[in-house]
């Protein structure tokens, strides 16, 4: 897979708390130049101006980064983002509920956001996989699919437990089994990382350092890249 094909799978991301509107404008210009699939920004940065003919989608985060928001707050946040031009919403679950194995609560949380932003809005569900064991990952993915999610996504990139891992991506992909797609995010910094995640089943990548990744000459699947049992470091890829 060449760099252009990888670029077309990237959500080019800027979620730093200190980001300015000028930073977001620069992100969008860079995304258009690199040919990424989308830009992913904080909700208060909307609306944004997308270059004509670039084909860039606009994604926004919801309940970010903790997920510790009432479901109706997440739903309103998502709906407002779509009103302001977002085509995709990346929502964070309540990870504590997942760790308690209260998957019904997770499903209800996702369902509330799904109801607020029905198709064709793309809904991605961030499960914070590095903070969960395998059984929890399976349970959360099943809950997300049952609630109508289009993607399950590994990480916010802000959790101290870490970001994406090949093991988590592979488990998530096998669990959703074509009923949803998988996004790997958090610590995907090199082409080897990207190709390993794709090989494990990811169809979208959350990357903040897209230019460096796409220019990386050390291509190859890189084996386990971010690690089969562990995860890439949290927040070490500009927080995503």
Q: Which residues are designated catalytic?
A: 90, 153, 183
Helix axes 103-116, 134-146, angle to 10 degrees: 40
Percentages of the chain per state (helix, strand, coil), in multiples of 5: 40, 15, 45
Cis peptide leading into residue 65 (ω within 30°):
yes
Q: Which tokens belong to 200?
A: 């494990």
Query: Which residues pair with residue 183 across a beta bridge?
Result: 153, 204
| Residue 41 φ/ψ, nearest 5 degrees | -135, 170
């Amino acid at each position: 897979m060449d760099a252009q094909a990888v670029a077309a799978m990237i959500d080019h991301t800027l979620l730093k708390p200190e980001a300015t509107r000028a930073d977001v404008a620069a992100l969008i210009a860079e995304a258009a130049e690199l040919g990424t699939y989308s830009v992913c920004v904080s909700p208060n940065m909307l609306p944004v101006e997308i270059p004509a003919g670039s084909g860039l989608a606009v994604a926004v985060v919801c309940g970010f980064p903790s997920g510790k928001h009432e479901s109706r707050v997440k739903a309103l946040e998502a709906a407002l983002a779509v009103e302001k031009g977002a085509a995709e919403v990346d929502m964070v679950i309540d990870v504590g509920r997942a760790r308690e194995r209260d998957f019904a609560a997770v499903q209800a949380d996702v369902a509330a956001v799904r109801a607020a932003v029905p198709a064709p809005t793309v809904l991605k569900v961030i499960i914070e996989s590095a903070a969960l064991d395998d059984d929890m990952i399976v349970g959360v993915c099943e809950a997300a699919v049952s609630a109508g999610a289009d993607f399950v996504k590994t990480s916010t990139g802000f959790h101290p437990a870490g970001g994406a891992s090949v093991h988590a991506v592979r488990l998530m992909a096998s669990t959703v089994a074509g009923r949803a797609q998988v996004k790997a995010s958090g610590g995907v910094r090199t082409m080897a990382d990207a190709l390993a995640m794709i090989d494990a089943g990811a169809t979208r990548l959350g990357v903040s350092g897209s230019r460096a990744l796409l220019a990386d000459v050390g291509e190859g699947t890189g084996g386990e890249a971010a690690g089969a049992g562990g995860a890439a470091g949290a927040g070490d890829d500009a927080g995503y």
